[in-house]
Structure 1
Amino acid sequence: MDLLGSTSIVTVATCTLNQWALDFDGNLERILQSCQKAKEQGATYRLGPELEITGYGCEDHFLELDTILHSWQSMVELLCSTATENLLCDFGMPLLHKGCRYNCRILCFNHQILAIRPKNALADDGNYREPRYFTAFKGGSKPDSFSIPSWVLDELSSKGCENHPPHVPFGNVFLQTFDGVQVGCESCEELWTPKSPHIDMSLQSGVEIIGNGSGSHHNLRKLENRLELMMSATRKCGGLYLYSNQRGCDGAARLYFDGGAIIVCNGKLLAQAPQFSLEEVTVISATVDLDDVRSYRAHIPSFGVQAIREQSEDTGTHYTTVRVPQARILLPRGHARGVSDTIPLALSTPEEECCLGPACWLWDYLRRSGASGYLLPLSGGADSSAVATIVGAMCHLVYDEVTQKSNAEVFKDLKRICHISEEQQKSWKPSSPQEIANHILHTVFMGTENSSNVTTSRAKRLGAAIGSYHLTVPIDLMVKAVIQVFTITTKLTPHFQIHGGTMAEDLALQNIQARLRMVTAYLFAQLLPWTRSRKGFLLVLGSANVDEGLRGYMTKYDCSSADLNPIGAISKGDLKRMLAWAGDRYKHEVLKEIAGAPPTAELRPNASTKGEGGNDDAEHSQLDEDEMGMTYEELGWFGRLRKIGRCGPVSMYNKLVHIWKETCTPSEVGAKVKRFFYYYSVNRHKMCTLTPSYHAEANSPDDNRFDLRPFLYNTKWPRQFSTIDRMVQKDEEQLCK
């Protein structure tokens, strides 16, 4: 290295990209934009997200050779583009090598692939099934040789990118540039493993820059954990760590990739991209003196001791140096760029996450689905009001992008969704988020004689505050018609229990109302654009929360059945806190009123009133928690212990008998646990038909995507419940001593 001609200072860039599964042309355009923006910020190294060329959510399309073919087509364009010249690029794409399919990082510089690093640790839990599509690389101490497809070499040559080597290193490798900088790779899951690659690369070879191309979805309270892993990694080992992530709903309907690109050095945060944004391409950069990394490591005695051991023993995974004399990334002497300062961490509150994450997800889904907006059955209760609030927040985000940030892409999508004519497009601009909502969100209160004036009023006031196109639709005629058909056929007329009927009659009458609301919702979703002299169709939004899904406290195929559900993996407690937060944020006072109201289905006559209809100004007497036989707080405990804690009935009792010891006796805890597991198992069939939901919490009961459990149970749980009974007896006896 020429000490007089260069410094130890480098500017690096990472990005968040709103990629879309199999949208190869769109993905390529966004990648090129990120490269150009990185160069404009003075960067000589650019990191991109995991599988950015294909989009992460291709799923079984990864098994098709077409996906590999189109990936190479995009790679040819990237190699030949001027946007990637003099820029060390780390791209993510799938590859075939010796009959195996790998999830790879492709390191390129000036029209050439320098090396390929396949992923070692594949994500295979929760929402992820990477081993279904890819092989985890377990190579030896020496890199393999990857043969570039001959047609790729021909294409490169025809486009003026001649002399590309026919073979490149493939395996556990890192780069050493002409100016002595060592650059390594991690891929998403590898950061979360007990012994991450950055540890081996740091100790074995002193790799200074490590880039993690990731496809990580949003989960409540997850960003802080993600960042802590990076801070901890560089705090212990030193180094400059870059994290890149996808943003948006890229095809896997339930996941939203929440961006949040990050640059960390020696345990300090240097740059952070927004977690929630409608921007398609976000690039952040930082300028770092790599001598600070070398000095930091050298002052840690344990780093030196362990580095010597790793360098002298062939233990674990061995990483090989690939020297690339054609690549230089350090800034020249005399540059005007200063070293980046540490910045404070920006974290969203859980209430913000509950609102803004699904809001961004809904915008992505809307603009890519071809729909003209959303239709929401709005009951005036907490759940449907939370969904309305989320769509309202989406409209605020869109309005800010259009009016404050002059985001041309968002404005283009908005005009297309709203079917603004070419003549109007020249002068039209939304005057408020409410104007956008009036185009996009249609809310329908579907009342019966069992509905109260209280909820009718709340739904109407909330619709007005958000700006939705709101309708109050009485469905009693439909309900009576269905009952009349039954009566004509059987000569019998069902009644509610309060009017002398049986439980079977009562449930049937409730379910008629619920299911007719679903039918009505889809009717209005198809025809409301027509009634407003507009084109297109509306997507129906559901509003069953995670607790109700887990308990099965819903009618199968009622208005909880929809096209999308923004809150299907969010607990009632988090939703109520979000409503209170949104009430302050958006100045909607009615949201605080809704958050404080007792949850009610309003499918039975109101027993608290004198008349049979129950349509007065009182709160309804049919309360959710009474009917479920458990509180929402208890459901939260059951859900977290069942999924996150991996508890069956017995282990759940063992934990709760201690957690609830101040408020419940062992026999009460045992009864609650058995009641939960009975209703969970008897209603499991409902979870198999849940509307695709935004994945926000790890206790989601989403069947066959995230929560892989049986469809049919022995609902008596004989061995489990008898064991609990014996434990209860023993615990009660112990209390009496």
Structure 2
Amino acid sequence: MHKYSFVRTACAVPKIKLADCRYNVEEMIDLAEKALAQGVEVLVFPELGITGYTCGDLFFQRELQKNALIALEQFLEWSAGKKILLVAGIPLVIAGSLYNCGVVLNSGKILGVIPKTFVPNNQEFYEKRWFASSKSLLQLEITLLGQTVPVGTDLLFQNNLIEDFVVAVEICEDLWAPIPPGSFHALAGATVILNLSASNDIVSKSDYRRELIRLQSGRCNAGYLYTSAGFGESTTDLVFGGHAIICERGVLISELPKYNLGNELLVADLDIESLVHDRQLLHSFSDSVDLIKDKTYRRVTFESLDCKVYDGDVNPFPFVPGDPNRRSERCEEIFNIQTMGLASRLRHIGNAPMVVGISGGLDSTMALLVCVNVCDRFDIPRAKIHAVTMPGFGTTDRTYDNAVALIKGLGVTFHEISIVAACTAHFKDIDHDIKVHDVTFENAQARERTQILMDLANKVGGIVIGTGDLSELALGWATYNGDHMSMYSVNASVPKTLIRYLVKWVADHTKETSIQIILYDVLDTPVSPELLPPDENGKIKQKTEEVVGPYELHDFFIYQMVRCAFGPEKIYFLATKAFAGVYENTVILKWLKKFYSRFFSQQFKRSCVPDGPKVGSVSFSPRGDWRMPSDAHATQWLKALEKIQE
């Protein structure tokens, strides 16, 4: 999957026998063979895995040191011709001192030796009894098993196929330092950091360790592989659970359960392109490079096979957490952000009344719920909310009834103003045949509704609360100077797929049963602007997703393009994985073309959107997050999709 910058990595937790180097390396080779069969390109083993971490004073025994080298040579011989980067832990004597090292092997070569920098000597750890720190190392090269090998903490290993696939190594306690060596490695260009560890388990330590690794991967915008010693280590005083964790950009990708019996692999595919993209976005990353201005790094090239299969999980709903508890927390947080944003704006202008148009659909319902929450939180009478239902040519009984019931049920000021007469007169004024249901017919209704809201706001001395969402902004599915305009837009950075969960969250938590029933029915109503007359049964005829495509697809496209800056081919590939069995590939391609066409052609609408609170990592505010020329062309993006079709 190098075409899309995906690389397959793995942590290995072998079952060991203390001081039995031959046994240990055979177990390591067995795991390496399994990893190679799965297309793994980088494999990291625990700290001092060849001997075992808890050998104590046996580390000084020449017999153990000699047999560790023999075992390393066996591993090296096995690696000949095998394009996988292997990192094994071993005690090495260098210039008369003993070092706790990670040795990097690839295709029969020793690419480098990395000694541990921070050697713990407190509480249950007393490594300084045996090992020196890398800070005492004066040599840049050593001879190891007949090869001249670079040694030091200034080594980076760069893949021969992907320029930005750069690996660095640190060892256990290095991660726990105030400024881990991995931070410097990342600034020097490492995108994947490996940690050989032997971290014992005590109550709650694994929680702290997990969070430490996750945050370090986030700070470094890197992939982070951590693997710890496990079954077979001495339990005289400590227990080692064989904990293995893989994180990427602050997200826990995969984790091996503790207290396994060894011989386990934890495999995960990392996205190098996304790591580099985030580094480009964060100037704090590039501004920190001066921290390594006096440090020179050496780069060594390694070979790997291109794994042709991608096994990573692709979330079809990137804006919506899959875990119900996290989703509930996210909804609560977003609802509070919307509430505080609107409350702050109202306070700034003297707690003006709120005017909001209610259609009986999801977006306007969400906006009204935010307004009500502002009133309840800040002791503002709900009567200061002027909710307006404006039935037109396409209004159905279902949406009308829900709008009226919701407004009255929430106890806000109710207005019903039909737009039929005004639009009919307007069509006559501009000489438009009312029987021609074209864009003029549709947009005139949207603009009439906005005019009513704006004028009513002037009358009551209030502001119009916008209802449009992020997905509509991306697609330009809004009438220019119509429903796309307001004085404060509370849903502006909330995607359509998330709006649904927000409304459901409010419904689930409301104590008013009648309101709950209405909200659940709104959730079941098809998404529609209702600008065309209903069908013969009085049902909604104009269904948005039949025209522009499924919002779940478009929200996926939005996230991958705007948040990750992926190209069309990669987005298509990920979409086929995420929606396998839901949409045919041809359908995904069709709507991806529609997405690009609309996204580029509709920028002019995003360039002048009103203020609104940012709630997530994607926002189209022209003042903050998204700056794009309105006359940019989608030609290259569409050509890339044509290649897929061919």
TM-score w.r.t. the length of structure 2 is: 0.49
Q: Which has the larger radius of gyration?
A: 2
